[in-house]
Amino acid sequence: MTIHCPNTGSMMHCKEPGSRIWYSTSDSKTRKYPHTLEVIEVAGKKLAGINTGRANALVREAVTENMVPRLSGYRHVQQEVKYGRENSRIDFLLRGHPGRPGEDCYIEVKNVTLGEAGGLGLFPDAVSTRGTRHLRELMHIAEQGNRAVLFFCVQHTGIDRVEPAVAIDPDYSATLAEAAAAGVELMAWRARIGPKEIRLVEEIPVVLPHRS
């Protein structure tokens, strides 16, 4: 069986031969491959959701249902809105918060599946010039007086904190530290993953390395 893999990263630690997997099936007549890889069992019997397309849906659900306290109260939620100075699209634009008049909230979502020992989650799992560009755009948004949020959607049941992957992409890691210092808000939420449901349930820390 050939199954579509909706993940453009390296999938480090999430592609070991013989691993147990779960997949979904589409009845669309236009798809070349009807099956989509969704979840894989990784070391320690933990589960990782490797379908990056699910990340935005999980975040939208959490935001619209007011599950994320720091992002609750907005009346309007838009997706894939053009913005910035580098011809980018923001994943979510929140508007109309009664307590924040005139202040919009821009949210960039990143899917985290790279787990290491001790509950450590790393992002990115491959060099990401696109991710670095998004950080620059978010910094510009913060400079303009709007909220800029980098939201790590952690689809891995063994991760309890997220850090930048300095060894994989030092440029991204350095820019992330600059973005945090410039007012970009960092948050990470871990998903509960099962054969029939994936849902964001818990906020976990984002930890930046100490700068020398």
pLDDT in tens, 25-75: 999 999 999 999 999 999 889 999 999 999 999 999 999 999 999 999 999
Domain boundaries, the chain: 50-204
pLDDT, mean over the chain: 95
CA–CA distance, 147 with 116 (Å, rounded to integer): 31
Q: Which residues contact 138 (CB under 8 A, 6 or more apart)?
A: 106, 108, 148, 149, 150, 179, 184
CA–CA distance, 44 with 74 (Å, rounded to integer): 39
pLDDT in tens, 118-169: 999 999 999 999 999 999 999 999 999 999 999 999 999 999 999 999 999 9
Q: Against a cut of 0.85, is the pTM above it? A: yes
pLDDT in tens, 193-206: 998 899 999 999 99
CB atoms closer than 10 angstroms to residue 82: 9
Class at the top of the CATH hierarchy for domain 50-204: alpha beta
What is the number of H-type helices and E-type strands within the chain? 3, 12
